[in-house]
Amino acid sequence: MKLTPPKTITFGISVLLAFLALLSFLGAFTLLPIEAFWLLFIAFVLLAVSLMVKGL
């Protein structure tokens, strides 16, 4: 399987989700009804899928 670099927008969304997870974990951002772990997990899965799927 050949890995491809993610597009800039996909990488940016993943980093934004990870940053929101950090803020949620620290208690500074409580607007999302999802726990910080799951938000970080979604960010990681998005980044991993974008590495495996060409053009994402």
Q: What is the pLDDT of residue 56?
A: 73
pLDDT at residue 3, as a whole number: 86
pLDDT in tens, 5-56: 889 999 999 999 999 999 989 888 777 788 889 999 999 999 999 999 987 7
Question: Which pLDDT value is given to residue 8?
Answer: 92
Residue 42: burial class (beta carbons within 10 Å; 0-12, 13-18, 19+): middle
Q: What is the pLDDT of residue 46?
A: 95
pLDDT, position 12: 95
Where are the chain's structural domains?
8-52
DSSP state for residue 5 in the 8-state scheme:
P
